[in-house]
Structure 1
Amino acid sequence: MGRKLKEETPPIEPETPNDPEIKAEKKKKKRKNREPESTQQSPKRKLEETETQTSPESNERKKKKKEKENKEVGSEENGKRSETHEDGLVAVTGKDAMEAKYAPLKSFAESNLPSEVLRCCLNFDSPSPIQSRAWPFLLDGRDFIGIAATGSGKTLAFGVPAIMHIMKKRKGKFSKGRNPLCLVLSPTRELAQQISDVLCDAGKPCGVTSVCLYGGTSKGPQITALKSGVDIVIGTPGRLKDLIEMGVCCLNDITFGVLDEADRMLDMGFEPEVRYILGQTCSARQMVMFSATWPLSVHQLAQEFMDPNPVKVVVGSEDLAANHDVMQIVEVLDDRARDARLVALLEKYHKSQKNRVLVFVLYKVEATRVENMLQKGGWKVVSIHGNKAQHERTKALSLFKSGTCPLMIATDVAARGLDIPDVEVVINYSFPLTTEDYVHRIGRTGRAGKKGVAHTFFTQQNKGLAGELVNVLREAGQIVPAALMKFGTHVKKKESKLYGAHFKEIPVDAPKSKKITFNDSDDE
């Protein structure tokens, strides 16, 4: 649990006469000192630098906080503030009543939720860190931003408050043909299905129904489910937009919206669809956004569709760090040597062909080639990637999860969000395009307190990411191979504490870029 922050005592100002003119002059000077005239605030206020009616003493405290490198992770309102500690946990400080209201939950009983709602939590001793901090705010109707790693219990962190929201709105009346009240957007089909499984089980004791909408499969059953009436819609942006345009999915009554893995969703190019879909929902909605990182694109999306003062809670760090329960082994190889080395590693790690081994590749065609190569070598293997039909992907994932076929080749569709139990080894046959995706990939093992192994092939083609990878390995206390160091340790535009900048925070009121035209004339 987060430690209580010690509040600093503001300096005491000398009393001033109760002269209205003096007070007015003093307020004018305070405003002038607080913000120079040359810097005008944009109408769209930054989420983490929201302008509030605070005293100079409060501004002084904020300044001191920044000097100590304590990041503000929430809005300041009525004396309440959320902050991140060095230990990675979050505490809420402020007025006593506000502090008690939003204090992290130590047990499920403290939530005072109905027993039927908490039935989905019977297998857990207490709420996870993100659940214990999210529930008090979400149950109070606050817009919420959660930054937490995958596998941290995020689905129930927003799922339980969503069910409570629906029960209060419906008041026990679940009519046939009703429009949904809750929307959950997910970047991939597999993650959407996983969320749907969790919310279907959690909502069943309460009479709350869900439907999962995703591409690669027939629209018929999905349309039928929508027409019969549901409470929660979970979907991928592409299929959901199609059904809205067909007139079979109405989101006008959505008053609880969730963007899960928001950074990944925008990375995949779904921003136009996300904006279109959110534009179809009720304007007076509660918005929830979960993301493993906080890039500029997600920042801007939150700024547009959320309340000006959302609560932002970080569990861990906004800077992505590798799971310390995973032993990371990096080999620098020639590209042509990877096939033979992969087979050698499978003979080492998967000799019994019983333990789960997940092999990541970069491209869809590469997944097919590696799968065929291993099958010809006598290995029992399945794969999931974008070129496969959805029923094939679902079947492959099911065989891998159940242990029927515990060796799987996957592209990055399996890198985030998926809860695959007992993956003992991850092999990165191809290094991903970003170090962030590398961290997510190896996070498929070493889950729930267990140890795992991540074996990675690094080639000359990946040398531009060498510096970032070295920093990740060092942060986790792993061995940095000498061959990797030969590529250099320089990190371009280094802003992140761990491995450089994936984005640059640009002020909302920054001037637009200018187009420069070059004259190709020989006279120049």
Structure 2
Amino acid sequence: MAKGDDAMRKKRNKASRKRVQKKTDSTTVSARVAAIIASKKRRKSGKRRMCEGMCFSLPTLDDPFNDRHGKKDFERKEPKKGMPPREDGKGAAPRKGNYAVNVTKLNQTEQEKEKVVDLKDAKKSSNISITDLGQQYLADPTEKVQMIRMVGVHGQHGLACENSNCPSKFLIMCLNSVETALRHDGIYISEEDKPLFVNSWGVEFWKYYSAGKDILETSGASSTIEQIAWIVSIAADTIARKEKEGLSFASPFLLFLVPSQEKAAKVRAVCKPLKALGIHTVSIHPGASLDHQVQGLKSCEPEFLVTTPERLLELVSIKAIDISGVSMLVVDGLEPLSDGGYPDMIKSVRQSVLVTPLTVVFDDCFRHASVPLVQNLLMGSICRLSLNDSIASLSSCIIQSVNVCTSEEEKLSKGVQILDQAYGKQLLSQHLKVLYILGKDSKFGSKLVTALKSKGFWISTDLSHATSNFENSKMKPAVSIIDTEQISSADLEQYEFVVIPSFVLPIESYVQVLTRMARHTVNGVLHNFLTKENAVLARPLAGILEQCGQAVPEALRNLCLTSSTRKQ
């Protein structure tokens, strides 16, 4: 039913009355009229201001003479008592919300209190406000933050907060930049289609790099695109942190040695996206003229230098580039570099670097000929990194020596003689751990112990206390002795010199010793002594030597033929 004229007129009159009422409201009137209206409302509700003339108060039991005129005492709120600790030693969980800057009022554990003291000490030795540091810490009190004190080039002390549990944001940004550029060019295609920063090899490499040790990569191949990306991104992140500390580099930070021009172009393609982040890379190889490369080096100061050994030595000889202060050295492709005159070239390059750089070696050659080159590059403690679980990969750079004897007495004498000769040639030091693995023959073991003691060696049958008991001894290196049953439970990674004077253990146990010993060095040696009674194990032992790229001795081959004749 349609509305009539009367209804429409009433609706318009109602709207006009509302407009008039809004104009006469207290919010639109003058300040004086609004104060009168507000006072009237307060008076009607019984709430009056103390300054109003009509206010009065009556005496009370607390104030019988009305001295306070009805004013109440200011009541202070008592501070809340802290929650007592639980029986399990854990305090109450903190409530969510904003934390106060005053750190001393927090209910903290002992570790948190120590961190507060560190922050206060930091304020005394730097210009950073304690409030700013406190806010940084209180932003996430559950996060483990390590306070590192650093000295700048001008001797001023500063503070840097570094989370040691994960890579930095700049490192992730470098990886993402490289990945984006390579995917755009169609070069980088991950099999599992995962981001580059979650690559398992890269994460392990970052952990070892953070430990400051040299790295030996034993996957059995040269570097891949992913591995190069992680290496150059970590180097770029290190440069950024060092420059933030006020340090500068006169020489290239990263020296990447490659065997060919093709490999240099591959590494250069991975480094190219980092130019937008301030990292300049120069590739030097015999494919370009020497004069052109000299002019190019004069026009820029590269952070990364990708080069072949022979061209690099030419430039160093004419003083076109200075590599004395290189901080990181990567040697890729040992198989082609271990032939011809390349080992001598690499040795010359290493001698041109006057500092001790962090060295990374990609061992793609398990031949015995490449071991001296690796030992010349990696002379300290190392970390092994591999994507391959093969025997050859895990036993890389461990020399296996096989001796075939005619009798038990010869095995005993040679087992002692080989250790005495190594000590006489200063191949062993007092800090080197030596291990002898014996069978169940107690007579042979007692004879060996007597012979070693007569030579001045200290004997230990407890692997956990072998080093600690020998620290104050002036004798020859300590010799630990275990039996074959202890191989699976013994910690073999610290032993560089292992001797099996009587090869009676199963071939599986021999593989365990070979793949678990000398994990932190490239100077591991494993000596084995066999007789005709051990001819059954000769063939599998020869197979392991061939897998590891080592020559099989003629005496061992003859022993293999003897075992075949016996089977027939």
Q: What interval of TM-score do these two structures reach, taking the shorter chain for normalisation?
A: 0.3 to 0.5
TM-score of the two chains, using structure 2 as the length reference: 0.36
**Larger RCO: 1 or 2 (CA < 8 Å, sep 6+):** 1
From the CA coordinates, give the structure whose radius of gyration is larger. Answer: 2
